[in-house]
Amino acid sequence: AQSVSQHNHHVILSEAASLELGCNYSYGGTVNLFWYVQYPGQHLQLLLKYFSGDPLVKGIKGFEAEFIKSKFSFNLRKPSVQWSDTAEYFCAVNAKSNYQLIWGAGTKLIIKP
């Protein structure tokens, strides 16, 4: 069965620090990859997605993620975080043959001002 693993459940950083959130999945076939974010008091929303082409994808608010097929990874990065990036971040994957998303457990990110 497919699964998605997010390495850190809680991350605390200071403003201007660099961010990398890990995401690994287990599935041998071709996949679509997503990062969603839930800001405090707001709906879950799409941050970025990858389904083909350049493995480095850029999303909203300066976030990017790199798909490394050989490592089954899709890590989320941001060079300099802001207090407003405080949120919970979810990685999700679906196989191209199956539209059901499999979700990671989420990472709660707290940015100290």
Partner 1 sequence: NAGVTQTPKFQVLKTGQSMTLQCAQDMNHEYMSWYRQDPGMGLRLIHYSVGAGITDQGEVPNGYNVSRSTTEDFPLRLLSAAPSQTSVYFCASSYSRFGTDTQYFGPGTRLTVL
Binding segment for partner 1 (CB under 8 A), chosen from 11-19, 69-77, 78-86, 87-95, is 87-95
Instruction: State how far the Cα of 64 lies from the Cα of 62, in Å rounded to an integer.
Output: 7
- Which residues in the 33-62 window bind partner 1 by CB under 8 A? 36, 43-46, 49, 51
Relative to beta strand 107-112, strand 10-14 is parallel
- The distance from CA 67 to its chain's CA centroid, rounded to whole angstroms, is 11
| Out of 11, 13, 17, 95, the residue judged to bind partner 1 by CB under 8 A | 95
Name the residues that contact partner 1, by CB under 8 A: 4, 9, 32, 36, 43-46, 49, 51, 90, 92, 94-96, 98-106
